[in-house]
Structure 1
Amino acid sequence: MNFIQKSKFRTKVTFILLTITIIVAFLFCIALGSVKIGLKEVIDILFEGVNGNSVNSTIIWDIRFPRAVASVIGGCALACAGLLLQIFFKNPIVEPYVLGVSSGATLCVALIMLGGFSLGFTSMSAFSMFIAAFCGALIVMVIVIIFASKVKNVVTLLVIGLMTGYICSGVTKILTIFADKEKIKGFAIWTMGSFGGFTWDQVKVLCIIGLPTLFLSLFLVKPLNAFLLGEEYARSMGVNIKFFRIAIVFIASLLAAVVTAFAGPIGFIGLAGPQISRLLFKTADNKILVPGTIFLGGIISCLCDLICRTVLAPMELPISSITAFIGAPIVIILILRRKTSL
């Protein structure tokens, strides 16, 4: 067996293991919590359907199942968005949270949650939350791209993204001053980041927007590989650079927004997923990295969500506090590795 055959075999085995891992993690997310339910009973209830009358059946179908679905799809979306942005900006440190994209989405959601009545919104649907988050993410993304075209230094770009995020956060805090106390409480809980409390309506929007967008990102693997070798090479291979840029910005903003709208700002999954994928597969080929990153994002998010609600059960930790322990060291290591070029 030559090197290429060994590499293909290793990749296939890795994907099989990732598939098994994400299924097991999903089942554990349903089984474990303040009320522990055996895996056998979980599987029986899942096959039984929503017609079960037991307390455990209600816990699974009304609380844990939508949460588990949201954490897997949300993690997949954030990791994929992170990979696309890293390729787009040609550095491995960027992701929606670091660039301030999540902060932009948070600001527009705050406008709806805190000032919705003043703006004429008498009710707040799941879809309106998504639209608000998408508009905020897209605006910040465009601002960062404008600066990125003029600034090549990685640290400077990160600082611009962080400052943009701070500005959005500052405006958000100003909005809280004029909001009702009950709205502030709900918004404060939302900003901590959590997949808890997901309703089936929100899961539907997440699936309707997130899954097709993830599938669409798989069609970008060839132009992404060409783009890695430079714009001129990509153009010579028939890639429409202008359309390609718009597609990446649109898809990355869409993926970040649909998660932020319902789960709040969640950092570092978009950074950890692509980096672990590169280490695991030992390749720069996006035909492997894109699906691999999607799988790993779902696994990381699912496991972090599980840790959040089991470590101090029945109390629950914000998921961003757990993802920070994974993502922050990765950022530090990557910056130290690139110190000669900064």
Structure 2
Amino acid sequence: MGNAKVSGGGRRWRATAYDLIVLLGLLALFAANLCLGSVGTSPAEVLGILLSGPGDTSTAAQVIWQIRLPRVIEAALLGGALSLSGFLLQTFFNNPIADPFVLGVSSGAKLAVAVVMIVVLGAGQPMSPAASVGAAFLGSLLTMGFVLLISRRVRSQGMLIVAGVMVGYICSAATNFLVAFADDQAIVNLDNWSRGSFSGATWPDAGIIAAAVVAMAAAVFALSKPLGAYQLGEPYAQSVGVNVLGLRMLIVLVSSLLSACVAAFAGPVSFVGIAAPHLARRGVGSSRPLLVTPACFLTGAAFCCGCDLVARTLFSPVELSVSAVTAVFGAPIVIALMLRGRAGR
């Protein structure tokens, strides 16, 4: 019993140390995102601008307050959301490669945006940011609702994965069908959105994202105890009083809402939901949801902040797709961690 307590205490200390290290890295990346760009500013200048408040009318202050600060806040929040979504799905499917978009949520969002761009607005009509966000949310939630309906009738996680993949294929096929009849400008706009980007972030958007992500993150943390039981198998979870069917529906609902929020405000952003949970579990040395949840959020936030910094500064003034950068960094991380895990076993 004493050894178990020491072991548990050691895991908590390791998790705390990992969280502090990642938090420091996130703060460093946060500062780098504010300092680096086409308008270069030193850390001292950035600090002075932040302390002076948003009333400063200088060019550097406008760049910091209106462009870089809401963008890096959005990248951190949505990165954390993607990581938590990936952790939930990997726990649900007991599959290390489960991804927030495995249930077809991003494909549903893209289909809804395509319908609004091509069918509702038609040729030559610009699509406002609000319309894009609304369409993406609607498509994500409709897709999520359909998959939830399937989950009530399908008890096998493997079959639910297949159902989600098929829903994604159907949505992608419908989108391609619409694109075949679209004008060139609509095709360009849809392609730009589907690449994934944190550009164009605004303070109102950041406020909405913060409220949604904080609420969902709190829900994930509240589910830590039943999730820990679920990790030991459905029979064990049922034996300790967990409503397994209700928990499964909550996992799908919360993970889909998190990824829908990302799709609505940033478009599809790949690989964060796979790579960040792996890094977090490896860093804390445990799969306990109570320890992994904060580590997941911080890791995803830091990962997206770093990738967004690379995307907008590496070939400046040309900005890369953040989804491409996350895939470039995320894929080797996942491969290396999986190989190390297999070698350890």
- TM-score, normalised to structure 1, is 0.87
Q: 2:250 aligns with which of 247, 250, 254?
A: 247
- Deviation of residue 147 (structure 1)? 9.4
In structure 1, the partner of 2:263 is 260
Residues 1:106 and 2:106 are matched in the alignment: no
Partners of 1:148 and 1:274 lie apart in 2 by 26
Q: 1:243 to 1:157 in 2, by over 3 A?
A: closer
Partners of 1:83 and 1:26 lie apart in 2 by 24
In structure 2, the partner of 1:97 is 101
Q: Check the 8 A contact 1:34/1:314 in 2, yes or no.
A: yes
- Deviation of residue 301 (structure 1)? 0.5
Q: 1:279 to 1:270 in 2, by over 3 A?
A: same
Q: 1:250 to 1:299 in 2, by over 3 A?
A: same
2:287 partner SS: coil
Number of corresponding residues? 334
Q: 1:39 to 1:115 in 2, by over 3 A?
A: farther
More displaced 10-residue stretch of structure 1: 67-76 or 227-236: 227-236
2:198 partner SS: coil
Tell me how large the CA RMSD over aligned residues is.
2.8
Partners of 1:149 and 1:233 lie apart in 2 by 16
Partners of 2:334 and 2:171 lie apart in 1 by 22
Partners of 1:113 and 1:189 lie apart in 2 by 13
Structure 1 counterpart of 2:130, one-letter code: S
In structure 2, the partner of 1:78 is 82
Residues 1:125 and 2:130 are matched in the alignment: yes
Residues 1:47 and 2:24 are matched in the alignment: no
More displaced 10-residue stretch of structure 1: 287-296 or 108-117: 108-117
Q: 1:62 aligns with which of 62, 66, 76?
A: 66
- Deviation of residue 223 (structure 1)? 0.5
- Deviation of residue 174 (structure 1)? 1.8
- Deviation of residue 224 (structure 1)? 0.4
In structure 1, the partner of 2:221 is 218
- Deviation of residue 197 (structure 1)? 1.1
Q: Check the 8 A contact 2:99/2:273 in 1, yes or no.
A: yes
1:248 partner SS: helix
Q: Identical aligned pairs, as a percentage?
A: 37
In the alignment, structure 2 segments of 5+ residues that lack a partner are none
1:116 partner SS: helix
Q: 1:334 to 1:43 in 2, by over 3 A?
A: closer
Structure 2 counterpart of 1:168, one-letter code: C
Alignment of 1:1-342 (within 5 A): 2-117=6-121, 125=130, 128-129=134-135, 131-139=137-145, 141-142=147-148, 145=151, 149-150=155-156, 152=158, 161-330=164-333, 332=335
Structure 1 counterpart of 2:197, one-letter code: S
- TM-score, normalised to structure 2, is 0.87
Partners of 2:127 and 2:108 lie apart in 1 by 23
Q: Check the 8 A contact 1:141/1:253 in 2, yes or no.
A: no
Q: Check the 8 A contact 1:273/1:300 in 2, yes or no.
A: yes
Structure 2 counterpart of 1:125, one-letter code: A
Partners of 1:60 and 1:172 lie apart in 2 by 37
Q: 1:237 to 1:274 in 2, by over 3 A?
A: same
Q: 1:20 to 1:6 in 2, by over 3 A?
A: same
1:51 partner SS: coil
- Deviation of residue 230 (structure 1)? 1.2
Partners of 2:307 and 2:128 lie apart in 1 by 32
